[in-house]
Amino acid sequence: MVIGFGLAPVWPAQAQLARKMTLHDCMEYAISNSTKMRIQQAETGDAQIARRNAVLRAFTPSVSGNTYAYYNFGRSIDPETNTYVTETSFHNGYSVGAGIDLFNGFSAVNNLKISKTSLAIGQTKEKQVEADICLAVMEAYYNVVYYKRLVDIYEAQAVTAESSLARLRKQEEIGQKSHADVVQAEADLADRQYEVINTRNMYNDQLMNLADLMFWPVDQELVIDTESIIPSLDGDLNAADVVDFALANNPAVKIAGWQADNAKRELATARWQLLPRLSLNTGWSTSYFNYPGQDLHLDPYRDQLRNHQGEYIQFSMSIPIYDRLQGHDNVARKRNAFKRMTAQYDQKRRDVASEVRRAVQDCDGAATAYEQALKKSRVQEEAYQLNAKKMEQGLISSIEYQTATNNFLKAQADEMNSLLKYLIKQAVVRYYNGVEYINQ
């Protein structure tokens, strides 16, 4: 399939009105303006934040600083003598502490791996959403093309029917045709005009559907290129090769596999959480105090902060003894989640394999149907041309001519319908074979 490539996805208003949108243009515009893409991009942004946080938790300590200042009224302990006093006192202190987990059941390491996989899932889901948008736009675009070409055909037939009616009226005046032939020609013209109106309405409806999928501005006319579609028949495809490629590279399969991997890591983390935890903490602190209104010889503020400095380093171990079986319950839930994700991964592989085989089969069938429809259209066109000449020479009736015309119109419609169906089936197979819709 050869389709003209466009420019950037967002154009100024005048440029939008001046150019015809190709399929590639429509896809680009839809991707750039889709709310689904914006939602998925926001979710991917959350995954990036989670990835950063996991890195910081795994390799950096937590650091905090504290300060306080207060007055104490009544009985208190003198920090200098460690005895009780009843004087009003003022206290001020500062401290800085840092802590890091030395062993927490490999939670940080597993979270790091999970966040990396989650980010890959988010990015792959963006590609998946993009593919869904492109396929929907492609189907809507081809529907517009189909009805636009059908309108052109019916309009040409209406012009032909109008010319035929005018000729028959002249022939009726000179006695070569009966009034019944004229009435039949008038009925044929009315049918053609009705088909033009009805098909144009369907064309407008499909065009509106395409504009909605693209998030096209409602105050601007959407004009698409219906002439640059050139079919190309692919050679015979090996369904097994396409299946193997899809199982290794299809976004849906990769996402399901990553989700199963994350569930396995979460299960391992839950099991390790049953072991003791070891952490390291260190800190520094200092303080100042005095007795307001008392004439006491206390060290100045700066000297007290220097003299009251203290540091500490602490190793701590937390041993889970009995937590009402919450840890074991968590392991059981994570084990069930892993089983569920593994089953979903196997099911997704089976579904994708079936979809690929069906897509290849449908594509082959659509190609055969298109070739046959093309032959039928050419034969019916030749038959129509011969009957048109016979009609001009008065060798056939209006009913026979109308039958030939209807057969020709149906053959043309079948040819277009089979072509556009084939193009969609072909695009799906190419997508499973690694070619994104927007690059076809």
How much is the pLDDT for 3?
33
Structure tokens at 94: 């500062």
| Dist. CA 373–CA 416, nearest whole Å | 9
The pairing of strands 84-85 and 89-103 is unpaired
| Dist. CA 42–CA 38, nearest whole Å | 6
Model pLDDT for residues 167-178, shown as the tens digit of each residue: 888 887 887 777
- The chain-wide mean pLDDT, for the chain, equals 88
Q: Give the residue-averaged pLDDT of 113-119.
A: 93
Question: Could you give the C-alpha distances from 197 to 147, 148, 150, 353, in angstroms and in order?
Answer: 11, 12, 11, 44
| Dist. CA 366–CA 425, nearest whole Å | 7
Q: Give the residue-averaged pLDDT of 211-237.
A: 84
Residue 8 has pLDDT above 60, yes or no: no
Rounded to 10 degrees, the C-alpha dihedral 114/115/119/124 comes to 10
Residue 399 has pLDDT above 90, yes or no: no
More confident position, 326 or 351? 351
How much is the pLDDT for 12?
43
Model pLDDT for residues 202-217, shown as the tens digit of each residue: 999 999 999 999 999 9
Query: Domain 13-33+104-275+320-439 carries which CATH code?
Result: 1.20.1600.10
Contacts of 192 by beta carbon, 8 Å cutoff, 6+ apart: 154, 157, 158, 161
| Dist. CA 149–CA 156, nearest whole Å | 11
Model pLDDT for residues 19-33, shown as the tens digit of each residue: 789 999 999 999 999
Give the angle 277-262-253 at the CA atoms, nearest 5°. 175
Question: Could you give the C-alpha distances from 391 to 147, 155, 387, in angstroms and in order?
Answer: 29, 20, 6
Q: Considering Cα of 409, then 411, then 414, then 415, what sign does the dihedral take?
A: negative
Structure tokens at 72: 């104490």
Q: How confident is the model at residue 235 (pLDDT cuts 50, 70, 90)?
A: low
| Dist. CA 141–CA 209, nearest whole Å | 9
| Dist. CA 402–CA 398, nearest whole Å | 6
- Domain ranges (residues) in the chain: 13-33+104-275+320-439
Nearest Cα neighbor of 267 from 439, 114, 88 is 114
| Dist. CA 175–CA 243, nearest whole Å | 70
Nearest Cα neighbor of 418 from 378, 357, 368 is 368
**pTM greater than the 0.75 cutoff:** yes
Question: Could you give the C-alpha distances from 35 to 129, 130, 139, in angstroms and in order?
Answer: 11, 11, 19
Across 340-363, b (16+ Cβ under 10 Å) vs e yields ebbeebeebbeebbebbbebbebb
More confident position, 117 or 8? 117
Model pLDDT for residues 132-158, shown as the tens digit of each residue: 999 999 999 999 999 999 999 899 888
Residue 387 has pLDDT above 70, yes or no: yes
Model pLDDT for residues 237-272, shown as the tens digit of each residue: 788 999 999 999 999 999 999 999 999 999 999 999
> Phi, psi at residue 338, to the nearest 5°?
-65, -45
Residue 7 has pLDDT above 80, yes or no: no
Q: Give the residue-averaged pLDDT of 64-70.
A: 95
| Identity of the highest mean pLDDT range in 33-37, 227-231, 320-324 | 33-37
Q: How many CB atoms lie within 10 A of CB 11?
A: 16
Residue 1 has pLDDT above 50, yes or no: no
How much is the pLDDT for 79?
84
**Quick check: 125 and 309 in contact, CB under 8 A?**
no
Residue 6 has pLDDT above 50, yes or no: no
The SS3 of residue 300 is coil
Element housing 279 (H / E)? strand 277-290
